[in-house]
């Protein structure tokens, strides 16, 4: 057992961890290689993060794999990322089953290449009955776009008298987001030293604890996730209450 895992209170782990996997390009540059090299070497970090999350009993992990803004990157890099997505999903399918991983996706996935869409949907279907942990890939995802789409869809239902405008609440908004079947984020981790949330799960992270590490994503390993969990467990989550109120909650 990892020594750091021993220091974790398994009764107080985040139910949902979200990760901004940052630093692939800088990692590749340090090796004197092109950015694509960093993306290809990031798969070990993905496996380690998912395995570590499962080790501690976290039920949901969401990875920011490709943002709406990433479409503006050089075509060579975008094409390489799409190819990597297809190959990785196919290659990892046996391990998804072995480890009880249910694959999910959020975002405007209809913008992905047709082949990527097909493989993604095949893997989602194949793993639908797995129950150890739900692994969500945020692909062609942007939180502002997600919220705008939710508002449009709710507005249509109001116009069609399917929803009473007076009854619109957080639950109705939640039900119209990509993440309608996921709980709110408890812990957000961003690698590479950047301290931004970059249009990622803005609604869902309203009360998330934010953890930033200088580790570049391709170097991220189980012990780094455990460090984040220990840091998380040393914080007091008040959700707008006072420390005294938290102390008296049953």
Known catalytic residues are 22, 70
Whether 238 has a binding-site annotation, put simply, is: no
The answer to whether 185 and 62 have CB atoms below 8 angstroms apart is yes
Whether 62 has a binding-site annotation, put simply, is: no
In sequence order, which residues have a C-beta less than 8 Å from that of residue 12 and are 6 or more positions away? 233
What percent of the residues of the chain are helix, what percent strand, and what percent coil, each to the nearest 5? 50, 15, 35
Whether 248 has a binding-site annotation, put simply, is: no
Whether 236 has a binding-site annotation, put simply, is: no
Nearest Cα neighbor of 90 from 61, 121, 136 is: 121
Whether 67 has a binding-site annotation, put simply, is: yes
Q: Are strands 101-106 and 133-141 parallel, antiparallel or unpaired?
A: parallel
Whether 100 has a binding-site annotation, put simply, is: no
Whether 24 has a binding-site annotation, put simply, is: yes
Per-residue buried b or exposed e for 40-51, using 16+ beta carbons within 10 Å of the residue's own CB = bbbeebbbbbbb
Distances (CA, A) of 90 to 3, 39, 68, 105, 109: 33, 17, 24, 15, 17
Whether 15 has a binding-site annotation, put simply, is: no
Whether 88 has a binding-site annotation, put simply, is: no
How far apart (Å, rounded) are the C-alpha atoms in residues 68 and 72? Answer: 8
Whether 227 has a binding-site annotation, put simply, is: no
How far apart (Å, rounded) are the C-alpha atoms in residues 2 and 41? Answer: 23
Whether 23 has a binding-site annotation, put simply, is: yes
Phi, psi of 13 (to 5 degrees): -110, 150
Whether 143 has a binding-site annotation, put simply, is: no
Question: What residue numbers does the annotated binding site for substrate cover?
Answer: 23-27, 35, 39, 67-69, 71, 73, 190, 196-198
């Amino acid at each position: 057992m990892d020594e750091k895992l021993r220091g974790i209170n398994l009764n107080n782990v985040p139910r949902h961890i979200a990760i901004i996997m940052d630093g692939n390009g800088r990692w590749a540059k340090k090796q004197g290689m092109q950015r694509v090299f960093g993306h290809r070497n990031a798969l070990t970090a993905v496996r380690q993060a998912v395995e570590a999350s499962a080790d501690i009993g976290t039920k949901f992990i969401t990875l920011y794999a490709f943002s709406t803004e990433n479409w503006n990157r050089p075509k060579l890099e975008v094409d390489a990322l799409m190819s990597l997505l297809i190959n990785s999903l196919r290659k990892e399918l046996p391990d998804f089953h072995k480890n009880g991983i249910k694959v999910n996706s959020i975002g405007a996935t209809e913008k992905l290449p047709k082949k990527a869409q097909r493989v993604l949907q095949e893997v989602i279907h194949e793993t639908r009955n797995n129950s150890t942990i739900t692994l969500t890939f945020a692909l062609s995802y942007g939180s502002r776009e997600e919220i705008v789409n939710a508002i449009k869809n709710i507005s249509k239902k109001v116009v069609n008298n399917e929803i009473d405008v007076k009854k619109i609440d957080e639950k109705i908004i939640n039900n119209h987001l990509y993440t309608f079947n996921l709980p709110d984020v408890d812990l957000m981790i961003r690698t590479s030293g950047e301290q931004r949330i970059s249009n990622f799960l803005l609604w869902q992270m309203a009360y998330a604890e934010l953890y930033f590490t200088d580790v570049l994503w391709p170097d991220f390993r189980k012990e780094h996730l455990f460090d984040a969990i220990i840091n998380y467990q040393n914080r007091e989550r008040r959700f707008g209450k006072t420390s005294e109120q938290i102390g008296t909650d049953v």
